[in-house]
Structure 1
Amino acid sequence: MNASNASNATNATNAVNGNDTGAPRVLVGYSPDERGDDALALAALLARTMDAPLTAAHVHPPPWPTPGPGAVDAEWVAYLRGQADEALRRAAARLGELGVPERAVDLRVHAHRSSGRGLLQVAAEAGAGLIVAGSAPRGRRGRVAIGSTADQLLHGSPVPVMLAPRGYAAHPPKRFARMTVAYWRHRDGEGPLTAAAALADRLGVELRLLTLVLRPPGLAAKFRVPGGVLDRQLAQAEEDLRYAAGMFGGGTPVERLTAVGTDIAKTLGTVDMLHGEVLACLSSREGPLRKVFLGETSGKIVRAAPCPVLLLPRGAAAPTVGEKAQVR
């Protein structure tokens, strides 16, 4: 399969028009290292489960902005292309091992000084409905560390972003088990919640709604006063969860869970998570509409999650199949 830039125009057309399954196109950003392998493992599981088209992209630095001697520029460009082509050959081979044949994968090379912004441009060209990336290499195993690439995706992507925790490729699940949505009621939250439910349905898993209630500072659990601040917080959380669950009509009951603790990481650590769990999180209400925007609370949840994390754009469901996200 040709991974050169010259084939991008044809590939973009096929990416938009060739999706006969109705599933959103999955775009995975690949680098030839551990985080790239983690991202491929998650993207392959998504593509297989949803029978979704898959694009694997490698973003490399552009040529020098200031022209130099012709021979030097030509050698540098050839080097970049060679490295990119080799990276995508490795990606295609690994995807084949993961059950996604090479003929089913759209391979793309893209030049951009910023890997995150470059992936957003590829997503727009390919009509991707979901972007998958790996954790920064400095993070702890089993957790997500937000590096520069993920940071750019999580502050401006017009489509959902899913991050694989470090080491995910070592023991990937055979199937997804459940989707838990970290939910707090706010304006513009209904669209993302509907998008999460739609994705859970495509993955064939049940949906669980989770609200984390943080105990007021200085209030020990044994000194909890009936009818006090904490009880009022819990009552409001239960009301909000009932409201959210009611959005799904009278179909399959949606599990609701409230967890209480002193901080987000410790509280989330008390919640059972299955092998194959996905934790979905809403974008900050302070962010722009129809974009992913990682706020303070959602950022803490992402870093504490022991499973892949899905970040949903504020105020909008995922783009329909074939719809191109607008990236500037």
Structure 2
Amino acid sequence: MNASSASNSPGNGTTATAVAARFPPRRILLPLDLSAHSFQALPHAEALARLTGATLALLHVAEPIAYPTDLGYAPVISGEVEAGLHQSTRQRLDELVATFKARGLKAEASLRVGRPFMEIAEAARTLAADLVVVTTHGFTGLKHVLLGSTAERVVRHAPCPVLVVRRDAGREAPAVPATSTPGGAVPALRIQRVLMPVDFSGPSREALTYARQLAEHFHSELILVHVTELPFVDPNLAEIDTQTFEENARQSAQEQLDKAVTALRAAGVAVAGRVLKGVPWNEVVEFARREPVDLIVVGTHGYTGLKHILLGSTAERILRHAPCPVLVVRHGPA
């Protein structure tokens, strides 16, 4: 098993370089803190690795342990961590690798020391991972503000697409989910209908290419949804014909959506298109709740730091509220 310490990780105010997204993946990175929470993403990662032939790369990130000194707190160096406190973690990772190899999968494991989201992003680069699979706690509101989300930070910094599996608070995952057997039984993975929000931007087009590849691989139905936002009208301005404005926006969106649907059908993809009206992230989530959707694929601009705070992210709002897994395809910097 490989082990490394924190180095050259992306900072909070930087924009990490994204690599070209491709499906199917050749290496899937699965961060695990060895809790039942993190194991809930494991069946998805294992099933994808089995169905695509990808290598399953397990990763555990140990946060540095600080000890008191005369000047405050100092971190325990990674060598001491490796030699002592995390010996059992390395053994557990090795056991998991052996288990997955016995199931017929290609598997490997590594341990890194540092801040989890930074080390996950750096490991994705070092290992040339094509996909990261993580679990999110699904908190919203004040609890989300106070606790934050490692999954969302991974989405912002990872150089490849990230599949975020929402935690099922009412279910405890076993240490190694029995989703397959050494005989080669395929883990259950239902990806029959894929929802893809489109706004015809660069990130959206890049994510659509990935969604098409995924739909072709799994023979899934692809549902494209465009949401036209209600215009803001200053009450102090002269009366504006908002109805005409909305209708023109809807027609323009419908025309662009029809072109995308026609092109995909010509390529043999089962696809449908819908134009909705409202707040984009909310309409996407509500559509996923109404329809039997197995996966949402969404593009994101990949901003971090101040630019992220100012602009926010529709993708992250979808992550927090979606009733199904969300696959985020990050758009690289121009």
Relative to the length of structure 2, the TM-score reads 0.68
Give CA-to-partner distance per residue, 1:46-84, whole Å, 9 cap, x none: 11222222111111124769999xx99876443332242
From 153, 159, 176, the equivalent of 2:191 is 176
The CA distance in 2 between the partners of 1:73 and 1:59, in whole Å, is 11
Q: Shift of residue 184 of structure 1?
A: 0.7
From 247, 272, 279, the equivalent of 1:231 is 247
The CA distance in 2 between the partners of 1:212 and 1:4, in whole Å, is 45
- State which drifts further: 44-53 or 242-251: 242-251
8 Å CA contact retained: 2:130, 2:161: yes
Q: Hey, what does 1:17 align to over in structure 2?
A: none
Distance 1:164 1:264, change over 3 A: same
Residues 40-55 of structure 1 aligned to structure 2 (within 5 Å)? 40-55=42-57
3-state secondary structure, aligned to 2:314? helix
From 298, 301, 305, the equivalent of 1:281 is 298
Q: Hey, what does 2:17 align to over in structure 1?
A: none
3-state secondary structure, aligned to 1:122? helix
The CA distance in 2 between the partners of 1:307 and 1:26, in whole Å, is 20
Distance 1:286 1:106, change over 3 A: closer
From 202, 205, 219, the equivalent of 2:217 is 202
Q: Shift of residue 177 of structure 1?
A: 1.7
From 26, 29, 50, the equivalent of 1:27 is 29
Residues 1-328 of structure 1 aligned to structure 2 (within 5 Å)? 3-5=1-3, 23-62=25-64, 76-89=81-94, 91-92=96-97, 96=100, 101=103, 104-111=106-113, 113-136=114-137, 138=139, 147-167=148-168, 174-187=189-202, 189-216=204-231, 228-248=244-264, 250-252=266-268, 253-261=270-278, 264-265=281-282, 268-271=285-288, 272-274=290-292, 277-284=294-301, 295-314=312-331
The CA distance in 2 between the partners of 1:43 and 1:64, in whole Å, is 33
Q: Where does structure 2 lack aligned partners over 5 or more consecutive residues?
A: 5-22, 174-186, 234-240, 306-310
8 Å CA contact retained: 2:226, 2:253: yes
Letter of the aligned partner of 2:87 in structure 1?
G
Q: Shift of residue 127 of structure 1?
A: 1.6
Distance 1:52 1:165, change over 3 A: same
Q: Aligned-residue CA RMSD in angstroms?
A: 4.1
8 Å CA contact retained: 1:177, 1:205: yes
The CA distance in 2 between the partners of 1:146 and 1:28, in whole Å, is 22
Letter of the aligned partner of 2:226 in structure 1?
T
Letter of the aligned partner of 1:283 in structure 2?
T
8 Å CA contact retained: 1:5, 1:108: yes
The CA distance in 2 between the partners of 1:226 and 1:217, in whole Å, is 9
Q: Shift of residue 133 of structure 1?
A: 0.7
Give CA-to-partner distance per residue, 1:168-200, whole Å, 9 cap, x none: 976995432222111111245433321221122
The CA distance in 1 between the partners of 2:277 and 2:26, in whole Å, is 35
Q: Hey, what does 2:15 align to over in structure 1?
A: none
3-state secondary structure, aligned to 2:331? coil
Q: Percent identity?
A: 22
8 Å CA contact retained: 2:24, 2:214: no
8 Å CA contact retained: 1:259, 1:270: no
The CA distance in 2 between the partners of 1:76 and 1:245, in whole Å, is 54
3-state secondary structure, aligned to 2:41? helix
Distance 1:214 1:30, change over 3 A: same
Give CA-to-partner distance per residue, 1:109-154, whole Å, 9 cap, x none: 122x2111111222122221011111037569xxxx9944223212
Aligned length: 279
3-state secondary structure, aligned to 1:248? helix
Distance 1:173 1:273, change over 3 A: farther
8 Å CA contact retained: 1:210, 1:258: yes
Letter of the aligned partner of 2:223 in structure 1?
R
8 Å CA contact retained: 2:203, 2:300: no
8 Å CA contact retained: 1:116, 1:148: no
Q: Where does structure 1 lack aligned partners over 5 or more consecutive residues?
A: 7-20, 219-224, 289-293, 317-328
